[in-house]
Chains A and B, each alone.
Chain A
């Protein structure tokens, strides 16, 4: 029983990372209608930049994260600007364009930092807490807290600010949005940048939990993506729930199936999606044709 809860706790912190990744996906999808397969690459760049600044430049962890978010946000802006001509015209092509960008980002990371990765020490050096016989690492709590804060800020931005409303309007009807004076390209760029910033946050936070290497983007991105879909693509609470669920599912699979954990996770994910394609909170996309 204790193992059960321990596994859940272990899965939650990685789940919080997946949730952040999923948030970035969902935000970009909700506002631009675009599925960004380069998101994984962006997470990976964020992780590398944060690691580089904290290990090499010896910046304090939090500051390194901020720098990473800024730089990665810039990467997001570049991606959006290049793919802008396709916006609202051909989603399949845009999807493939983001896949192309993902490949470019991975190659860049290998060229800059080499193919082998680095291990990152946890920035929090306090001893783990013991609650009811379950060990909770302090860093895990930090991750959960940061993820929660980021989510709250995002929701406030979307619901309460003019730019947030504009971003949602552009997603629904970009021409009508232009007619009321909204700069669609800029709005999309901001959405992309925020999505990239969330990815960088996830990447920076995940350093101490996983091994930082150019290949890490792959599974992180895909699991985050799966989390976003399970929770309902485009839904903010869905992304959180989905990411956490995938994290917990992953932890259980790793415990029982070891090397096959990814296989199991994906089979379960596929089954859930088949039964309920809209995810828990999501949009209707079942094609009835």
Chain B
């Protein structure tokens, strides 16, 4: 920590002294570089952290600069009032551009944002208000308590202060809950929604943040150059910005800054050979993307990875047994209230009927099994319950509330948690961070606290970490807290997924084939964990093929075949039902060596 403070102090002193050694042309370049650094950080936050393709960043830049120009040169506003209004307008545009992001991602979003950027250029080149192709000049020098900001040296200090605040804020966002949720959303939007991340709000927030940075850059640019023209906000500059972020490292704010400053300097050095420079940038982006996707900022991490291969502490970490001593284990009373009810649900996909008229009831405190041959619709049913699919007909009722049309994150906030058949952990987040994402139940609408009350956010995060560590300890995962999931054995990853699901303190936990791929010892541990989870008051619904596990664990079983229920009841009843034997077991003698548990065994 002391080392870091020292480095910051050195950097601050260096930044303060920089202009003294530079000529007037050089300081102009530095001023431009800082503006691009702001833009690059905004783009990095949207693209690298939140995973939203944002090819309209240059348009945010332009909207802000043009707004300042129009308000000051044409409408006689003072610079600073114009600046504030300009940033507000830019954020509004940013939210507007973010609206498509609610419905589409990746290349679709890319083309829409690109198209909107082009539309902006098109408007600005043609409109009288914006001065057409010649642009607007006559923007006044920003007044600053008697300091003459006409001087580019003094303007540098204004910029460096804004930049420092923006950088610190950006770093703060990345390392706190919102940043974590954005990274989770980037890694796996489906799983993020299932643990309660409010995907739509977060996407809009990403665009809003990007537009704030773009707005700041535009204001500074207007005050520096005091002339705006369409060429500055063209597609060519958008691609340059993209190059900065990719070469520097889009997932690191420092990387974005380094990329921005570096490319601005290189571009200036090569101004005589502008086309060659363009060729070089394009070629380097291609090479980076293939050989160094994390950019320059990612190189230290890759060196570290190669250097410590095989010698990591991870190799010696041990999985501890699940701590179930703090829970009582009991099966529910027969008249326990109904927690989850599926009413006549039908699910059709383009002609294929995956579920037809499925109705089932799950009581509070139950461990309810769902079995059936492959393709019978079990995972589809889970997807309907957890909001990933919207049922074609029928209703899902949770605790007397109809939840059929709710999105996954809404269901998560109402107390539904789930695991996935093919394991969906957040790949760039540590085990602890994976749990933190579901633990953190604050809504995105409290995001304003980041700007106005950061201390509160920080303190809350410290509290969250303590709770996350408690959950990890309970699940025996304490020694793996800082590991990346892909480095861990399969069985341990499975347990992390359950721990993450439990982080949200759900009312009902949906487990989708949790025993797949586990050996007998691990299956026993799983059964113990499930019983303890139920003992803590959580209702469990479990899809499984492992008949031995299902029979010994579940009080109630529902059997699906071809999208319809063919039997439901206690294990003893279901196993004896001829329809079940026919459709699923095929031959009753297959079960001969698996003992059918008596009722007392099931309770224990």
Q: Is chain B in direct contact with chain A in the complex (CB below 8 A)?
A: yes
Instruction: Please list the residues of chain A having a beta carbon within 8 angstroms of any beta carbon in chain B.
Output: 29, 35, 37, 82-83, 85-86, 90-97, 99-108, 110-111, 218-219, 222, 225-226, 229, 233, 258-263, 266-267, 269-270, 273-274, 277, 285-289
**Cβ-defined contact, B100 with A97, below 8 A:** no
- Beta-carbon contact of A273 and B108 below 8 Å: yes
In the bound complex, do residue A107 and residue B189 qualify as a contact, i.e. CB atoms below 8 Å apart? no
Q: Is the CB of B289 within 8 A of A86?
A: yes
0 or 1 for each of B71-104: is its CB under 8 Å from A? (1 = yes):
0000000000000000000000000000110011
**Are A262 and B119 touching (Cβ within 8 A)?**
yes
Contact A263 B239 (CB under 8 A): no
Q: How far is the CB of A288 from chain B (nearest CB, A)?
A: 6
* Whole-angstrom CA separation of A35 from B290 in the bound complex: 16
A103: which of B112, B118, B281 is its contact (CB, 8 Å)?
A: B281
A83 surroundings in chain B (CB, below 8 A): 286, 289-290
| CA distance in complex: A260, B390 (Å) | 41
Contact check: which of B122, B284, B286 meets A263 at CB < 8 Å?
B122
> Contact string, B189-215, partner A, CB cutoff 8 A, digits 1/0?
110110000010000000000000000
Compute how far the CA of A99 lies from the CA of B55 in the bound complex, rounded to whole angstroms: 11
B275–A285 contact, CB under 8 A? no
* Distance between A165 CB and nearest chain B CB, rounded to angstroms: 23
Binary per-residue interface labels of chain B (266-283) against chain A in the complex, 1 for a CB within 8 Å, 0 otherwise: 000000000110110111
Is there contact, CB below 8 Å, between B285 and A289?
Answer: no
Residues of A within 8 A of B199 (CB): 287, 289
Please state if B122 and A274 are interface contacts (CB–CB under 8 Å): no
Number of A-B pairs, beta carbon distance below 8 Å: 150
By a CB distance below 8 angstroms, the chain A residues around B407 are 288-289
On chain B, the residues within 8 Å of A263 by CB distance are: 119, 122-123, 126
Contact B279 A108 (CB under 8 A): yes
> Which chain B residue has the least Cβ–Cβ distance from A110?
B275
Q: Chain B residue with minimal CB distance to A108?
A: B279
Q: Are A266 and B115 in contact (CB under 8 A)?
A: yes
| Nearest CB on A from B266, distance (A) | 14
Contacts of A260 in B (CB 8 A): 122-123, 126
Chain B residues within an 8 Å CB radius of A91: 106-107
Known contacts A260-B123, A273-B108, A277-B108: A289-B190 contact under CB 8 Å? yes
Q: Give the residues from 351 to 393 in chain B that come closer than 8 angstroms, CB to CB, to chain A.
A: 387-390
Main secondary structure on A side of the interface with B: helix
Which 9 pairs from chain A and chain B are nearest by CB? A103-B282, A100-B285, A104-B282, A259-B126, A35-B107, A107-B279, A289-B193, A97-B289, A100-B286
CB distance from A249 to the nearest CB of B (A): 13
In this assembly, does B111 line the interface, its C-beta being within 8 Å of a C-beta of chain A?
yes
Known: A263-B119, A267-B119. A92 touches B106 (CB 8 A): yes
Q: Are A225 and B122 in contact (CB under 8 A)?
A: no
Given the contacts A270-B100, A285-B104, A286-B103, A95 and B286 also touching, CB distance less than 8 Å: no
Taking CB atoms, residues of chain A closer than 8 Å to B100 are 270, 273-274
Assess whether A82 is in contact with B123, with CB atoms less than 8 Å apart.
no
Instruction: Give the Cβ gap from B214 to chain A, nearest Cβ, in Å.
Output: 19
- Whole-angstrom CA separation of A112 from B214 in the bound complex: 35
A229 to B118, CA, bound (A): 17
Contacts known (A100-B285, A260-B122); A95 close to B107, Cβ less than 8 A: yes
Residue of A nearest to B121 (CB): A262
A residues within 8 A CB of B105?
A: 285, 287
Alpha-carbon separation in the docked complex, A266 to B108 (Å) = 13
18 contacts between A and B (CB under 8 A): A37-B110, A95-B107, A95-B110, A99-B285, A100-B289, A103-B285, A110-B278, A111-B275, A111-B279, A259-B122, A262-B118, A262-B122, A263-B119, A270-B116, A287-B105, A288-B407, A289-B189, A289-B190
